[in-house]
């Protein structure tokens, strides 16, 4: 009896591309992120240049925030800095809301 040690591939290689990551957050879009609220805080912070909405549902933190920049030069780094300046802790990465 002879043992054949040559193995043939069980799948064909294709020219498909790897899945693309979600589109990066852009200054003109709505940004979503999770955050930890300051202990005494129970309402949204007042951030100049941002329209904010909050949901008390999050995997990582206390809330999920939706932020829409009111000026075109504002972006994700500006939002993160503004939240940290008022005592909030942004968690994880920000992503752009899908339309």
Give per-residue pLDDT as tens, 51-83.
999 988 878 788 999 999 999 999 999 999 999
Is the pLDDT at 9 greater than 60, yes or no? no
* Torsion region of 53: left, alpha or beta (phi above 0 gives left; psi -120 to 50 gives alpha): beta
Model pLDDT, residue 48: 94
Q: Which residue has the higher pLDDT, 29 or 80?
A: 80
Which residue has 């999770």 as its token pair? 34
Write the DSSP string, 53-96: EEES--SSSSEEEEEEESSTT--HHHHHHHHHHTT-EEEEEEEE
pTM value? Answer: 0.68
Q: How far is residue 36's CA from residue 55's CA, in Å, rounded to a whole number? A: 12
User: Among the listed ranges 24-38, 55-69, 79-93, which one has the minimum average pLDDT value?
Assistant: 24-38
Structure tokens at 53: 């909405």
Q: How far is residue 71's CA from residue 50's CA, in Å, rounded to a whole number? A: 8
């Amino acid at each position: 009896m002879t043992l054949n040690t040559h193995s043939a591939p069980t799948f064909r290689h294709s020219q498909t591309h790897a899945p693309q990551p979600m589109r990066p957050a852009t200054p003109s879009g709505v940004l979503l992120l999770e955050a930890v609220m300051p202990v005494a805080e129970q309402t949204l912070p007042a951030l100049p240049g941002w329209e904010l909405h909050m949901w008390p549902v999050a995997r990582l933190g206390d809330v999920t925030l939706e932020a829409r920049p009111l000026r075109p030069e504002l972006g994700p780094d500006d939002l993160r800095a503004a939240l940290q300046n008022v005592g909030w802790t942004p968690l994880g990465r920000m992503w752009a809301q899908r339309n």
